[in-house]
Amino acid sequence: MSALTRIETAVVRCRRCPELRAYTAQIARDKKRAHRDCVYWGKPVPGFGDPRARVAIVGLAPGAHGSNRTGRPFTGDASGGFLYPALHRAGFASQPDAVDRGDGLTLSDCFITAALRCAPPHNKPTPGELRNCFSYLVAEFDALRRLRVAIALGSIAHSAILRMLRARDFALAGTAAFAHGAELIATRRARTVTVIASYHPSRQNTNTGKLTVPMFDAIFRRAKELLER
């Protein structure tokens, strides 16, 4: 069993936050009218992607009727509808559409995970919930031995990545403040990881024009440039 598979198993079985497990199960029972015929995942959502990835994307948390329904990050909701086309255009995803776990989508040189693995009420995790999930992010980072670029989707994901790097004794150079397109370089011995910050592809950002398609494409174009160095 690979390290990432072991982490995936541990995440799905996790009960560190009983209130979140109860909330995700309630959503799975009550459902959304548009998805009333679906069988919801209703559990913590593990990471997804290429185990040899050099790029890791960290989001906030599963969407109540997206990942919490489908069991795969950014799948089945508007955020994923903005993210996966961008990954496809950049060559990281095999297709632009992410509907469910059986849709045939694969990622190349890219791994997607989140700061929190259960859908939180009002999409707002508590500090304690984030702490409970933190070890999974660290474990994934350790397992992705070829990782060179970490993309933070939103300020909470950005903070989680920086905390994870500090936990592994990386030296950080650059601005630690969150801003779209901001970069930070983390080094430890011979290993270097560049952190790129991006606004989260939520409807709140995409519908208002705070995050546009060209802005998002520039993030992944920059990631490709860093990999080619």
pTM of the model as a whole: 0.97
Collapse the DSSP code of 185 into the 3-class scheme (helix H, G, I; strand E, B; otherwise coil) and give the result.
Answer: strand
Low-confidence ranges of the chain (pLDDT < 70): 1
Q: Which CATH number is 79's domain given?
A: 3.40.470.10
pLDDT reported for residue 229 = 84
Amino acid at 227: L
- DSSP string of 124-182, one letter each residue: ---HHHHHHHHHHHHHHHHH-TT--EEEEESHHHHHHHHHHHHHTT-EEEE--S--TT-
User: How many structural domains is the chain composed of?
Assistant: 1
Domain span at 59: 3-228
First to last CA, the chain: 32
Collapse the DSSP code of 187 into the 3-class scheme (helix H, G, I; strand E, B; otherwise coil) and give the result.
Answer: strand
pLDDT reported for residue 83 = 98
Amino acid at 30: D
Kind and range of the H or E run holding 5: helix 3-13
pLDDT reported for residue 175 = 81
100 in Cβ contact with 6 (< 8 Å)? no
What residues pair up with 107 in beta bridges, in sequence order?
Answer: 93
CA 178 to chain centre: 16
Tell me the helices (H) and strands (E) count for the chain, helix number first.
8, 7
Nearest-angstrom CA–CA distance, 82 and 219: 13
Classify the C-alpha dihedral 95-82-92-156 as positive or negative: negative
Nearest-angstrom CA–CA distance, 162 and 174: 12
Q: Which residue has the tokens 């990386």?
A: 170
